[in-house]
Structures are given as structure tokens and as C-alpha cells.
Amino acid sequence: MVLFLCLLLFFTTTLALNTITPGQSIKDGETLVSAGGSFELGFFGPKNSKSRYVGIWYKKVSTGTVVWVANRETPVSDASGVLSINHNGILSIMNRTKGIVWSSNTSRNASEETIAQLLDSGNFVVKDRNDSDPTNFLWQSFDYPCDTFLPGMKLGRNFVTGFDWHISSWKSMQNPAPGLYSLRTDPQGLPQFVLKKGPEILFRAGPWNGAYLTGRTLPTVNPIYSFEFVWNENEIYYEYEVQNHSVYTRYLLNPSGLIQRTIWNERKNDWEVFATSQADQCSIYAYCGPYATCNTNESPPCKCLEGFMHRSASTEDINSVDWSNGCTRRTPLACEGGDSFLKQTGLRIPDTSKSWADLSIDLKECEKLCLKNCSCTAYTNLDIREGGRGCLLWYGDLTDISELNEGGQDLYIRLATCDLNHIQNKGRIKEKQKAAIIAISVIITSGMMLLALWLYVRRKKLRKTGEHGKEDLELPAFDFATVAMATNNFSSNNILGQGGFGPVYKGTLIEGQEIAVKRLSKNSGQGLEEFKNEVTLISKLQHRNLVKLFGCCVRKDEKMLIYEYMPNKSLDYFIFDQTRSKLLDWRIRMHIIDGIARGVLYLHHDSRLRIIHRDLKASNILLDNNMNPKISDFGLARKFGVDQTQAKTKRVVGTYGYMSPEYALDGLFSTKSDVFSFGVLVLEILSGKKNRGFSHPEHDHNLLGHAWTLWMGKRPLELIDTAFGDLYNATEVLRCINVALLCVQQSPPDRPNMSLVLLMLCGDSVLPQPKQPGFFIERNLPTTDSISEKNEMFSIYESTITSLEPR
């Protein structure tokens, strides 16, 4: 009898683990666990908060990762909350006073056998215990997703009821209330999936084309997943299932608006980001404006469709970052009988919010329909499978088009017939040119051998010029006449700026390539050594976040370096200007910080040489068309051996405000010196203020001291640039400030290396508390930015430098 009672008690407890019935409740501290142990439901609270929410989180892996919250906007203020279900099948959360803070909206009649059950899919359902249909629910949490899209959930819309299955971000990492971002169906035209920030579209996952979502947000051929897309007169939705149930995966819309596909990595015991939908600038909605395509492999990434031209005739506008105005037709449409269609291939099709579709119409009939309507601008197949079928027509501007490296669709774009004839004639000319090129290829090959010999002899001569005739330039040599012609004979109108090396000119080569020319000034504080140093080092470095050196020019006393031209100038041009700083929103600044970190990491760890830059500063960070940061000016850089950790010099060169204490005071430099400079840069990017020359009515500290004071006073967000307004991610900002303060700590061993810096910036682990920064008590410094003489800063530390060089 005792054994029977024990077994009865065991089975009763086990059954109750994942189920509550009318009259039962879950108090704060009690939980339900799904039958397979994958998920757990109960009350939880964000860190350092008394607010309590009912949520579902992973149990078997990543304990504490919340996937659903019931009372997102109405937390219980203390631990008195109770979750219960009544006889009508309605779930309720009550507070201490028995007030209902949240309840489910069960839409169907419940029976006396109604239960609420947590399934092993993570779905919390209300159902009739006696109903044999395992999918017949009176209510389910999967109908009300939060920031997580789980296997089995729907993303879409019910056309009959208007019900919208969508996910929305948390307001912050500590606040599960609906945030600014949502991933949902846009029902206008051909329904498509879009990421929105409020009413504004940020990213377009696109419509279904029979094989995949055209935005390629989610893969379609995968051994882990299987996908289903349903579209009929009653509803449209997208869902996925996991084929291997030992794999845990989810889609997360984080508070920053990023859609991330993550998989649980058992080996690392952590979530691994497998893909991010907004992977590049071409993911930004309508980045290139109407009638333009975006291709991340090209610079600039935007270009007009054939038959269209940029709305501005200015070369500067065409090469700029902002292409939001897009392109316009070269020739207006004639409409009745005077138009034709140009076939473009390999495209992500345009925004379909102003489109019309019919699966029963073939492509020929589709073309006729488009020609009959003067507002129709393009057409394609609705379904690309089995050679294509159905008709999709666009009305109005064609927006948000990308060129895909693989896959993509055909798009038939309406043009005036004269434009189409011009394009086709150009194509025939190109074919003839190709034939001519093949015919003379043998001659060119022979000529190249002679040219190579001539270049070898010429390079030998160039190596003999300069100091002692021994430097090895290892770069293509430009004729002085070529450089002079490109810069309009070094016209003052072409000067981009003035650095320690000398003036920098903008130039344009005969073939149209824009360049930046650094010309060594006779009065420059830098000389032949710095010139040789920059040439020999940067010629061996290749990284997307380092400025590209095309070549050099040496003629007697003339020494010049020829770089790629950066149309957006340098970082200091933006962040220290009250007006231009508004152009750098939080997302762009985070992108710049990440790019600088990757560039420095390459210099320290991943390049063929181990390089210490020694002069990282805002003016040495150049910005390309897409606001990608590029580290420049390697005149002061030094090469380290594999086992070398630091070096010492009597000739200290660099820039006040960015130099580490051990370098400025003792001439010691290492990778940790660059880490210090990087930390200063991050604080400047976040605050929009210079470290040097910073002033505050409450103290005499520099920017580092100010940041430290705010950090210790638990007011770090007061540091950030007012240009952000409220449009920033507080969690990411705090992480950046924390990392920056770790980088500028007084002692070099306390500072992280760049690989750890990058991990800390991109990860979500708990960061260590920083120690006091170097130069925390800096005062009475000279007003100029460059080192020119011994001054009171060094007397504070009772140390002097043997030699100080201007910079």
C-alpha cells in the first residue's frame, strides 16, 4: 500500500509539472517544466529590478534565456504575483491586492476539463484535456510572440480576422516591454516580410517566390531546418521546424533591431550567432533609392539601372554615401506603343508594396498587361520554380533592389524603346571589342614581358635614389608628371588637408581613378625615414580597415605617397563638428568602432608583420563612401618581432591626448600603447568631444578623467554625444564605455589585447570593472595638440623624455 501511494504521488507530481488546472495556480518561485525538460515557465525579474514577469525560458540549455513574456507591459511590483486559470479557460496574473495585471483572451468556449500546459516546443497552451486533436487549442502563447521566433511559430497574417503574427524587440535588455522594432507582414500589394522601427521600414525580408523569401533572410535548404510557407485567401504565414530535435535554435530580434539566427553550441556552452539579416549596407531598406541597385562588392555600392541616371549630375553626389534620392529615367516613357522591356538578371526584386500578382497568368500575358497600363514599370514571374509561372507587376518607382552574387531573379524593366536600343547597341559593341581583345592577346602577352623587363630596370634605378640609395620601395612607381597632372599641378584648390608629413592633395588619374597624394614637405617634421617606413610597412598590409596605398613617386627631393581617395574625409571631420556629428547615428558609430578594432587587431595579430601604429587618432581614421573606417598614416609605425612584447625609444613621437603614459613618460611602446589610443578614440566617438582641450565646469579633468568620474558616479550615460538624442542602445553604449575604460587603464598589463577588446565589444558577457585611467589628473597642458617641448605634464610624474618630436 505504501509503495502504491508513493507511485501514485510520483505520477501525480510528474503530471502536474507541466500543467495547471482550474483552481490551481503558480506562485512566484514555482515553475512548470515541459514534459521533455526543454522549457520552463514561471516568474522572473530583470537584474537589479523588483519588477516580476511571467515568462518562458530554456531549461535544458542556456538556463535563463527568456523566449516569451506574458505581462510585457504590466509587471508585478513584487514577488506576490500568482498565475492561474479559471473554468472559462482564461489565464490571469494577479498582484498582491488580487488585481489582474494581465489575462489571456481565450476566444472559444472552454469545457470543465480545460487545462493550461507547457509543451516541449516552448508553447504555453490552453486546451480541453479530452480533445484528441493535439493542435486544437483554445489559446496559445505562439499566437503572441515577443522577441523570439521559435520553431512551430507563425509569422504572418490572417486576412479574415486581421490577426497579425509578428515579433517585436524588447525595449532594452532589462525591459521586456515592446521596443521600437518589429518583424511583421506588410499586406499591401504582394505581401512581404519587413523589419520596422515604428512605422519606418528598416529591412525587407521580401515576399515568397515559391522557393525562398526574396530577401534571403532565412535559408531554404538546410539539414537542420524544414520550412513551410502558406498563402491562400484566408491567411499567409511562414514557419519552420527543426528536423534534429537535439538542436536548439531561434530567431531573435534584439533591442538594437538586429534579426539574428542563433544555434546553441554545446561545446562552447553558449548561443552562436549563425547569421544576421542586416549583414551589410545593402540590407538597409532603399539604401540606394529608386531605380538603383546595391552591390556590396562595388564602390560605391550604388549604381543606376541601365536606362536610368543619377538625379544629381554632380560627381561628388554620385560618389557620396547618401543615394536616397536614387535615379531617374534618361527618357520619359511614351506609354502607348513606344515602350519596351529590358531583362535584368540576378536581382533581389524591388519592394512589392505597390504591386499586383496572379498565379494563373503566364509571362507573355504578364508583359501585355504591363504595357497596357501606363503606371506599370516592371514585371516578373510570381513563382520561380520549374521555369517560372504566374505574374507579378509593379506600379510606380522600383525601390530596394540588390544585385546578388548567387541566385536572384529576372526582372523585366520598362524603358523607352530608344533607351533599350541604345543599351543593346552598346552590348553589340562590347562583343566586338571582346573579339578584338582576344585577337591581340598574343601581342599583349609579348608586350607585357618587355614591359616587365622595363619596369624591373626602372625600379632598380628608383631604389638608388634617396638617402644612400638603399631604400626598397616595393611599390608601383608613379611618374612625377602623372601625379602633377592628376593634382592640377598641385593646385591649392586640390588640397584636402595638412598633416605631419605635409600637404595632401586630391587627384584624378587619366583613367578616372580618384587618388589622394601625400607630398613630403621640406619643412616637415617627418623625413625620409618616415617615408621609407610607411612605404615598406603598408605595402605589406592588406585589410579592409586599412587605407590602401597605390604607389609612390620619388624624384630628387620630391617624395610622394599615392593612396585611395576617401570621399568622407576623416573621423574628426564628423565627430567634433556640432552639425556633421548628427550624420553619425549610433549604428554608424558602432560600425566605425568595430572597424577600427578589427584594423588594429589585424596589425597586432593577423598580418604578416606585427605592427605597432603609435599614432592612432581621429584624424588618422579615414572614412570611405560607406562610412567604413580605414586606419591611415603609418609613418610612425614600428615592426615587432614574433616574441617581442615592447620596445623603448628616446625619440617619442605622437599626439597629445592619445599617447599612453608609459610611452609619453618613459618611451616604452607596445601593442598596449595602441590599445590605450583605441580606448581614447572610443570615448571621443561616444562623446563627440576631444580628449585634449576638454573642459567641464565641475572639474579640471580631461575626457578620460570625466568619463571615469561619471563611471564611478554611476552616471556613465551622461558621457554620450547629445547628437544621439534618445536614439541609441543604452546596453551597447554602456558596454563600449566599459571597454574603453579598460583600454585606458594606467598599467599596460591591466589593459586587454585587441582580440579580447573585439570579443568584449561584440559579446554579451559580464565585463570586469576598470581601474583608474592613465593621465587621470592631467592638468596645465599646452594648448597645441602636438608634442613640441617638455612641459608640466611630465613634471607631474617626475619624469622626462630625452627627445620630443612635433606631430
Q: What residues are labeled active site?
A: 615
Helices (H) and strands (E) in the chain, counts: 15, 47
Cell numbers standing for residue 655: 599626439
Could you tell me if 639 and 610 are in contact, meaning their C-beta atoms sit under 8 angstroms apart? yes
Residue 407, sorted as left (phi over 0), alpha (psi -120 to 50) or beta, turns out to be left
Q: Taking Cα atoms as reference points, which of 653, 662, 663 lies closest to residue 529? A: 653
Q: 3-state SS string over 445-500?
A: HHHHHHHHHHHHHHHHHHHCCCHHHCCCCCCCECCHHHHHHHCCCCCHHHEEEECC
Rounded CA gap, 31 and 33, in Å? 6
Q: Taking Cα atoms as reference points, which of 702, 753, 708, 761 lies closest to residue 731? A: 761
* CA-atom Rg of the chain in angstroms: 32
* Three-state DSSP class for residue 289: coil
Q: Taking Cα atoms as reference points, which of 595, 574, 591, 752 lies closest to residue 675? A: 752
Q: Taking Cα atoms as reference points, which of 249, 283, 333, 286 lies closest to residue 38? A: 249
Q: DSSP string spanning 720-784?
A: S-GGGTT-S-HHHHHHHHHHHHHHTBSSGGGSPPHHHHHHHHH--SPPPPPPPBTTTT--S--SS
Cell numbers standing for residue 571: 573621423
CB under 8 Å to 771, separation ≥6 — which residues? Answer: 745, 746, 747, 750
Cell numbers standing for residue 157: 497574417
Rounded CA gap, 87 and 118, in Å? 18
- The answer to whether the Cα torsion of 406, 412, 416, 422 is positive or negative is positive
* Three-state DSSP class for residue 804: strand
Q: Edge to edge, what strands does the sheet with 25-27 contain?
A: 25-27, 82-85, 91-94, 100-103
Could you tell me if 551 and 458 are in contact, meaning their C-beta atoms sit under 8 angstroms apart? no
**Cα first-last separation, the chain:** 92
* Three-state DSSP class for residue 718: helix
Could you tell me if 686 and 733 are in contact, meaning their C-beta atoms sit under 8 angstroms apart? yes
CA distances from 797 to 418, 691, 715, 776, 778 (A): 77, 19, 29, 12, 10
What proportions of the chain, in percent to the nearest 5, are helix, strand and coil? 25, 30, 45
Residue 156, sorted as left (phi over 0), alpha (psi -120 to 50) or beta, turns out to be left
Scan for cell 551589410, then name that residue: 280
Scan for cell 511583421, then name that residue: 184
